[in-house]
Amino acid sequence: MVRDVNKFIKYFVIQIAQWATSYQARINERRSKVEDYYQFADSVRTICDTLRLSNETQKIVLLEIEALKNIRGNVGDNLQNGHYGRLLQDHGMQLFSLTDSDAHLNRTEIGAAFIYTTPEQFLLKLARSNRVLGLSATADLETVISNFDFKYIQQQLGAAFIKGTELVPAATKKDMDVSSRCRDQGVQVNVINVIPDPDQLDDIRVMQKLILKYHPNFEINDDNHAQLALLEQLVQQLMQQLKQKVSDNALYCQKRYLSLFGSFICFLSHRNRRVVLGLQSVLPKLDTEVDTIKMSAQVIEQVFELLAGLLCPDEKRLPQLHMIAKKLQSEPIEQQVAAALKVRSEEQTRVYLLSAYKTLGVGVNLVRANTEPDQAQIIDIAPETLIFRIHDISKLILMESILER
């Protein structure tokens, strides 16, 4: 049905355009040279008004006519067979909303959105009169919403389409194969699922169970029993507050907190994890913000300090938590990151950087001065052809990411 409606609307718009063109020509024939030229858009509005179309419908008709002109250059050319149902990249897309009108039982309200300039069409338009060199690291990677359709572009350009990767020498491809070099050097990626079980959320010993899950060698004794009890009390109070104040998605917020606390435990329980970057969907909130309880910076700091005291009692300097966010500090993000990494480089203190995906993106420099204890963990994956090898670089990044999934 939607396809038939789409087809009808297209032919109806084309018919209006033809009427408007004829009407415009007749009006301009009658006007003298000193009179204003009668515009095509005004002619379309006149036809639509005669048909008693609403102002919103008139806008849709004008947009559709303009879009059809952009595709073929002439509205009438769209009457060819096979126009409907062809490739999305060739014709874009049209989205229609059909709703029965409460004002009149025999009237249907039609909403529409038209997207005709696709990325492929934009590239093809450039390629018609220019030589186009495309440089991208992700243009051919499959994503949730797909990506550039290079098969379609190659079909349209024929022999003029040249795939640059096919011209790259074998030696260069080998140097660029980072995955193979990582495997050859024994690099491993460990994914730790820190999402808590649903039955743990109301458990009065939830933190004790999380600690034993990720740090089985942890022992409860007289020295740490009181501190563990204080930690359990703090977390249980948080869980109850979430139930009371966040009725719509309390379960989600509870899991998000406990997942974060689980990542703290994974970091603190292994001394060889010296710098860790933790990224969330939201930033920690100050006490003055709305819905602070959903991700309270104060509670997060308290939990980290208690966990550090429990899991790292023998370390000379307890690990530190640095939250990276504009609203939490006056310094720019880059300076906050540099100051946090400096704690490791100069004080040899383990650091957990906590931020959000949008705040600490790929453009932020995470390079730091390398310390002697970190040298043993560095794996050289540089190709033999590079002039400077990785162990010759004075500043390196040594980060471990604990992934939440």
pLDDT of the residue at 399: 35
H or E segment at 278? strand 275-280
- Count Cβ atoms below 10 Å from residue 16 Cβ, excluding itself: 22
Torsion of CA 153, 159, 160, 165, to 10 degrees: 70
Beta bridge partners of 97: 111
Pairing of strands 320-323, 351-356: parallel
Q: What is the pLDDT of residues 34-82, one digit of tens each?
A: 677 888 889 999 999 998 888 888 888 888 887 776 554 444 444 444 4
pLDDT category, 334, cuts 50, 70, 90? Answer: confident
Of 113 and 219, the one with more pLDDT: 219
Q: What's the whole-number mean pLDDT along residues 349-356?
A: 91
| Residue 392 confidence (pLDDT) above 50 | no
What are the tokens at 218?
A: 């942890």
H or E segment at 354? strand 351-356
- Count Cβ atoms below 10 Å from residue 206 Cβ, excluding itself: 22
Q: Which residues contact 211 (CB under 8 A, 6 or more apart)?
A: 218, 265, 269, 307, 310, 311
Q: pTM of this prediction?
A: 0.59
Task: Report the distance separating Cα 51 and Cα 53, nearest Å.
Answer: 6
Distance of CA 405 to the CA centre of its chain: 15
Task: Report the distance separating Cα 378 and Cα 398, nearest Å.
Answer: 7
Of 316 and 372, the one with more pLDDT: 316
% of the chain exceeding 70 in pLDDT: 83
Task: Report the distance separating Cα 203 and Cα 200, nearest Å.
Answer: 5
pLDDT category, 301, cuts 50, 70, 90? Answer: very high
Of 293 and 80, the one with more pLDDT: 293
Q: What is the mean pLDDT of the chain?
A: 80
Task: Report the distance separating Cα 160 and Cα 193, nearest Å.
Answer: 48
What are the tokens at 158?
A: 């024929």
Instruction: Report the candidate in 206, 318, 199 with the shortest Cα–Cα distance to residue 262.
Output: 206
Name residue, tokens 């109850």: 240
Q: What are phi and psi of 368, to 5 degrees?
A: -140, 165
